[in-house]
């Protein structure tokens, strides 16, 4: 199976998702939204939750969550977008290709974000503590 067939099979599964799978994706989307709301509410608090801070160590994980939310939104709203886009003459019958390109782009970006966050975490763990200078 080459990459094109694999991506096509993924797209077919997204387009023809069963109701239980859509419900699961919706719950993940809602939980991610709650996490982002907690993070936003703690942004200006001096004594807020430390895990919500957007520090250089935690930024890749939060950015991965943001991209995942966008991917889940496009996945859940795919049929609605396709129906609404068919009403516009600008797309000229290419609505499905546009949505598929958007979905594959977000999926690729999410994959790269997860790989980079994993790589950064592993490299920080292997790097060890900084050496102190002796005088």
Whether 102 and 74 have beta carbons less than 8 Å apart is answered as: yes
**Angstrom distance (rounded) from CA 115 to CA 127:** 18
Number of H helices, E strands in the chain: 4, 0
Compute φ and ψ for 82, nearest 5 degrees.
Answer: -65, -40
pLDDT digits 0-9 by tens, 16-70: 777 787 788 788 888 888 888 888 888 777 887 888 787 888 888 888 888 888 8
Compute φ and ψ for 7, nearest 5 degrees.
Answer: -65, -40
Q: At what angle do helices 3-15 and 95-127 cross, to 10 degrees?
A: 110
pLDDT digits 0-9 by tens, 77-115: 888 888 888 877 777 778 788 888 888 888 889 999 999
């Amino acid at each position: 199976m080459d990459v094109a067939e694999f991506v096509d099979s993924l797209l077919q599964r997204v387009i023809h998702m069963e109701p239980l799978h859509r419900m699961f994706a919706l719950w993940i989307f809602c939980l991610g939204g709650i996490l982002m709301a907690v993070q936003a509410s703690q942004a200006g608090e001096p004594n807020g939750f430390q895990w919500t801070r957007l520090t250089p160590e935690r930024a890749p994980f939060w950015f991965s969550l943001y991209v995942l939310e966008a991917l889940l939104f496009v996945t859940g709203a795919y049929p609605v977008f396709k129906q609404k886009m068919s009403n516009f003459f600008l797309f000229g019958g290419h609505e499905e290709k546009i949505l598929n390109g958007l979905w594959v782009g977000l999926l690729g970006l999410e994959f790269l974000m997860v790989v980079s966050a994993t790589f950064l975490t592993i490299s920080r763990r292997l790097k060890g503590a900084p050496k102190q200078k002796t005088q």
